[in-house]
Structure 1
């Protein structure tokens, strides 16, 4: 009986895990892309990391863009084509991401 309960718990925990397809880097079963997927081409702006946020005024950014400053509230809506620029308290670009 104890072995049966252990097996049931293992299967229940395995069902909660989200698998990632190694070929496409997308989550299997959720419909949401994996975190590592660059759906908005944010990687092309990696050279801006460490630059002052005013640099964004001189860069042609086509599409949806969001600048998120430290301690600023932002929406939780998922838009894979939107580029996020995360700016620190020193007004420097800390990272880029898609959502």
Structure 2
């Protein structure tokens, strides 16, 4: 009986490994975006990371937008429709998010 148990365990493990769903990643290592968490379209503006915060002023948006300079005071209201560009101490965009 012991011999059958030693064979059964690896066989079961292989069968279970075959049932796993594969990772459906996108090209270039970009993570997939949850549509419910990206209501403002922040995923479309991730290419602005590292650019000057002033570059946001030349863009046109269909949603409310907030450019937040480094260390500035902002309201704490949470609005998933609002697009936020957060600046760092060098005046560059460090984060783009909804909220």
TM-score range, shorter chain: 0.5 to 0.7
Q: Deviations over 1:20-70 (max 9, x none)?
A: xxxxx6xxxxxxx7xxx1111111000100001121122222220011111
Q: How many residues align?
A: 65
Identify, as 1 or 2, the structure richer in helix: 2
- d(CA) in 2 for partners of 1:68 and 1:54? 10
For structure 2, list consecutive stretches of 5 or more residues without a partner in the other structure.
1-33
1:47-66 mapped onto 2 (5 Å cutoff): 47-66=47-66
Give runs of ≥4 in structure 1 deviating > 3 Å.
none
Alignment of 1:1-99 (within 5 A): 37-99=37-99
Query: Unaligned 5+ residue runs, structure 1?
Result: 1-24, 26-32
Q: TM-score, normalised by structure 1?
A: 0.60
CA contact (8 A) 2:56 2:67 kept: no
Select the structure that is richer in strand: 1
Q: In the alignment, what sits opposite 2:27? A: none
Q: What TM-score results when the alignment is normalised by the length of structure 2? A: 0.60
Which has the greater radius of gyration?
2
Separation of aligned partners in 1, 2:76 and 2:39? 17
> What is the distance in 2 between the residues matched to 1:89 and 1:76?
21
